[in-house]
């Protein structure tokens, strides 16, 4: 382990290693299967930490915890849709989106930075980081089609020069930049990969470029480029990956761009964990013989708001939970786990820790929820004007310019007397159906039809469609949301829809307050408010016993989704979202409000299940 460097070296190089990189000014080079930083033997000991999943006031704390873990590098993705959710507005790089501030903070803490700008990032992030305004155009995603590369080029025009100014060759901490992301798991358009690489270089990237793919011939054939360092992503079997790379790229060092030491969770499944011994054993195998690694995740953070993505299993949507704890060495709330100390030992780190094992938490408490407004009345009062369609299909999320949230569709069909079948032919992802204000039932792709009793009268038919997360991996990326097919009463198509977008993720505090005043509560669903008194802000974990599913705001900030099907029970509320004195917690319950908000001092992420699929 003597060759590990835990801070950026200041030693002047005595030799210049040979590297097939695009520039000789790069801080990281390689020769003879070894990696060098400015001529000094080096290993990348990195940890994934996503600025978009951590409150900005906690960035420095989490970066220091990565340094305490024994790492010398921080790696982060850059989600395009987080910076530019609307096509007609310039990308934002302020506040939570101040990527440059995050990178400078890493620099101030003495660590290097690896950047992964995509434009596709996966990351269990909504739409894999691609904006829905782009994927809604049905372009050939992640391809050399100019309909895709042209808007990506405009995004890179805004993003890449900011990153280039922070490179090591310019005195900054950025030492490597990834070309696309695991492209070999998606396609084989080599022209697109070459375009992506040229786009980075043309906009000023001079540091090490690399690709990252699963360690199989198929994935490496599709995702690698000549003259660009090949890294792999894996959760187990590092020796097999090392042998495969050595056979294909004998002069290159062994670099694992993602080591999955834990895993994420889906709603309705169990909480994934990975045993410490299993994770550390694989890590030691990666580090053997000078290997470099990025621990994914070193600190997972939280899918705040509605940014959690989804996967698909044979057409079945698997939405990702709000927590992105990922059983990482540094827990969602920053706590140092048993895995943290075992990984630290494996990395050879010594000395005192600068960070406490846990940050302070509020004392446990139970606070009543006051049910203030009916569900539909509240949504209508705070939402944009409806879009009217005389055709057979209501407007989709994409047609309404809506990325996340809900759409309320309204029509007025005449229902003949007797028993009928209401069928939502293609609903994405889940819909509450109301007839004359009364809940008829819940429909989803697995149960798309509901029984409907008619009297011969015209009824007010309302369908509230919820987007549970855009697919972030595989061929389903870019799929549309909403009612994608017609609504039928038996065989008859319902026409004449008004479609009201409910942009929950973009609601201002004033719009949220308007929803709470929307109308008296007449059902078990709707808007409720709890007032929480705080002497000194600290972390807390919110639970809603007895409630079914919905969303939680803290002082106007959308914390995320809760759902009784689990596994996640508590929502992490970081201290910076609270203030001394009175705090307002607003709940949008979609089906059944429990009436109590609990503040807990420990997270509850659900019954554990050791994740073995990637690690056996």
Q: Known catalytic residues?
A: 182, 258
For residue 354, what are its two tokens?
A: 């600068």
Task: Tell me the sheet residues that pair with 260.
Answer: 296
C-alpha dist (Å) from residue 3 to 42, 221, 281, 289:
6, 32, 20, 10
Kindly give, in sequence order, each residue whose CB lies less than 8 Å from that of residue 236, ignoring residues fewer than 6 positions away.
282, 614, 615, 616
Task: Tell me the sheet residues that pair with 483.
Answer: 427
The C-alpha torsion from 357 through 363 and 364 to 370, rounded to 10°, is -130
First to last CA, the chain: 26
For residue 558, what are its two tokens?
A: 């959308």
Kindly give, in sequence order, each residue whose CB lies less than 8 Å from that of residue 136, ignoring residues fewer than 6 positions away.
397, 398, 399, 478, 480
Strand 487-489 relative to strand 418-424: parallel, antiparallel, unpaired?
antiparallel
Rounded CA separation 236/616 (Å): 7
The gap from C-alpha 531 to its chain's centroid, in whole angstroms, comes to: 29
Rounded CA separation 245/255 (Å): 10
Contacts of range 442-451, beta carbons closer than 8 Å, 24 or more positions apart: 442/591, 445/315, 445/316, 445/317, 446/316, 448/423, 448/424, 449/421, 449/422, 449/423, 449/424, 450/421, 450/422, 451/419, 451/420, 451/421, 451/422
Task: Tell me the sheet residues that pair with 408.
Answer: 464, 500
Strand 461-466 relative to strand 387-389: parallel, antiparallel, unpaired?
unpaired
Are 276 and 267 contacting, i.e. CB atoms less than 8 angstroms apart?
no
DSSP state of 601: S
Can you list the alpha helix ranges (DSSP code H) found in 288-419? 338-347, 375-382
Task: Classify each residue of 549-580 as buried b or exposed e, where b means 16 or more C-beta atoms within 10 Å of its C-beta.
Answer: bbbbbbbebbbbbbbbebbbbbbbbbbebbee
401: left (phi over 0), alpha (psi -120 to 50) or beta: left
The C-alpha torsion from 138 through 141 and 147 to 150, rounded to 10°, is 140
């Amino acid at each position: 382990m003597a060759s590990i460097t835990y801070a950026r070296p200041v030693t002047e190089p005595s030799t210049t290693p040979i590297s097939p990189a695009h520039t000789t000014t790069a801080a990281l080079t390689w020769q003879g299967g070894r990696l060098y930083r400015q001529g000094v033997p080096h290993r990348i000991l990195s940890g994934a930490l996503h600025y978009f999943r951590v409150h900005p006031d906690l960035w420095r704390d989490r970066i220091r915890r990565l340094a305490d873990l024994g790492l010398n590098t921080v790696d982060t993705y850059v989600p395009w849709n987080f910076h530019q959710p609307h096509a007609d507005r310039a990308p934002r790089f302020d506040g939570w989106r101040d990527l440059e501030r995050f990178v400078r903070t890493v620099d101030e803490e003495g660590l290097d930075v690896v950047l992964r700008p995509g434009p596709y990032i996966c990351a269990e992030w909504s739409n894999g980081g691609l904006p829905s305004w782009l994927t809604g155009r049905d372009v050939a995603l992640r391809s050399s089609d100019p309909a895709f590369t042209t808007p990506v080029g405009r995004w890179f025009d805004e993003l890449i020069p900011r990153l280039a100014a922070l490179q090591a060759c310019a005195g900054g901490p950025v030492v490597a930049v990834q070309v696309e992301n695991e492209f070999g798991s998606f396609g084989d358009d080599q022209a697109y990969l070459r375009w992506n690489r040229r786009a980075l270089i043309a906009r000023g990237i001079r540091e090490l470029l690399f690709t990252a793919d699963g360690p199989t011939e198929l994935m490496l054939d599709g995702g690698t480029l000549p003259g660009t360092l090949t890294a792999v992503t894996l959760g187990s079997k590092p020796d097999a990956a090392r042998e495969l790379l050595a056979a294909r790229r004998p002069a290159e060092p062994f670099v694992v761009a993602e080591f999955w030491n834990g895993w994420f969770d889906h709603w309705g499944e169990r909480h994934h964990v990975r045993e410490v011994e299993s994770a550390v054993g694989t890590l030691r195998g990666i580090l053997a013989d000078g290997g470099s690694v990025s621990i994914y995740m070193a600190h997972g953070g939280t899918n705040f708001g509605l940014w959690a993505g989804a996967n698909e299993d044979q057409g079945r949507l698997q939405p990702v939970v709000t927590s992105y704890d990922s059983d990482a060495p540094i827990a969602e709330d920053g706590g140092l786990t048993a895995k943290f100390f075992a990984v630290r030992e494996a990395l050879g780190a010594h000395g005192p820790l600068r960070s406490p094992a846990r940050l302070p938490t509020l004392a446990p408490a139970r606070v009543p929820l006051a049910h203030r407004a009916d569900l539909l009345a509240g949504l209508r009062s705070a939402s944009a004007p409806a879009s009217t369609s005389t055709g057979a299909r209501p407007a989709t999320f994409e047609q309404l310019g809506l990325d996340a949230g809900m759409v309320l569709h309204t029509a007025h069909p005449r229902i003949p007397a007797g028993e009928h079948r209401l069928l939502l032919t293609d609903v994405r992802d889940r819909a509450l159906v109301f007839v004359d204000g009364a809940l008829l039932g819940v429909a989803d792709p697995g149960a798309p039809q509901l029984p409907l009793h008619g009297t011969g009268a015209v009824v007010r038919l309302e369908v509230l469609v919820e987007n549970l997360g855009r697919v972030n991996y595989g061929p389903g990326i870019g799929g549309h949301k909403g009612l994608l097919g017609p609504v039928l009463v038996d065989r008859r198509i319902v026409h004449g829809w008004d479609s009201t977008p409910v942009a929950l993720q973009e609601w201002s505090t004033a719009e949220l307050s308007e929803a709470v005043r929307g109308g008296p509560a007449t059902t078990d669903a709707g808007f409720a408010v709890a007032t929480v008194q705080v002497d000194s802000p600290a972390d807390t974990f919110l639970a809603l016993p007895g409630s079914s599913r919905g969303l939680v705001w803290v002082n106007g900030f959308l914390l995320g989704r809760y759902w009784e099907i689990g596994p996640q029970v508590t929502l992490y509320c970081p201290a910076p979202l609270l203030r001394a004195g009175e705090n307002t917690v607003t709940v949008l319950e979609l089906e059944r409000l429990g009436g109590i908000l609990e503040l807990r001092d420990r997270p509850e992420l659900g019954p554990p299940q050791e994740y073995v699929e990637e690690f056996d």
